[in-house]
Amino acid sequence: MRREVEVKSTVEGWVPRTSLGKLVQEGKITSMEDVFTQGHRIVEAEIVDILLPGLEHEVLATSLVQKQTDAGEKSRFKAIVVVGVKGYIGVGSAKAKQWRMAVEKAVVNAKLRVTPVRYGCGSWECACGQPHSLPFKVIGKCGSVMVEMVPGPRGLGIVASENVKTVIRMAGIKDCWTRTRGSTRTTPSLIYAVYNALKNTYRVITPEDWVR
């Protein structure tokens, strides 16, 4: 189930609680690149709202979870949400008694997990030099699921299942191949494996990463 839900921003009237928040509010940090290069940790969603004003979000999956208590079964909604803009991606999940509250909490958690994504043209079939794909092959894992993303030539599109394609598209990547292994029907593990693969675009590059 994938739906876009309007979530109100909480920047108006925001009072920073962290040193990073105060630096952003004072205008001393003006970009997400500064946040990551200086090694700051984001613990306030309002920081992302200010530095990434064009951030979009989409609901990837929702489910009804139940917990047995002394008073009987307790039901709650669980939502998994992706947020992204070109160059940045975040995935978050949350539970709540109401579906909308679960989505709003998941959006906040996704903003706190925003990570940069590196672009490039690592496909030997293309070599156009334009940042339309990945610079090299990356692998992400979560649970028993492993996702491998391989740079593709221009015009290929994103070769993946629907949820995987949505996460990659939200990050701004236009062309790539994907391979998945493991229990891919476990939606949360699949989504977080893709997220971890995109995070790995900023790890140290080794010769084995390049597609030959």
Tokens of 158: 């994103």
Tokens of 85: 């803009």
- Could you give the domains of the chain? 19-116 (3.30.160.20), 138-209 (3.30.230.10)
CB 76 within 8 A of CB 67: yes
Tokens of 76: 């709650």
State the chain's mean pLDDT as an integer: 87
Tokens of 149: 């993303």
Residue among 117, 121, 142, 122 at smallest CA distance from 131: 121
* 198: pLDDT strictly greater than 90: yes
Q: Where are the alpha helices (DSSP H) in 26-89?
A: 32-37, 45-51
The three-state secondary structure class of 140 is: strand
Percent of the chain's residues with pLDDT above 70: 90
pTM for this entry? 0.86
pLDDT for 1 equals: 42
Q: Say if strands 115-116 and 176-181 run parallel, antiparallel, or are unpaired.
A: unpaired
Tokens of 206: 């080794």
In this prediction, residues 62-91 reach a mean pLDDT of: 88
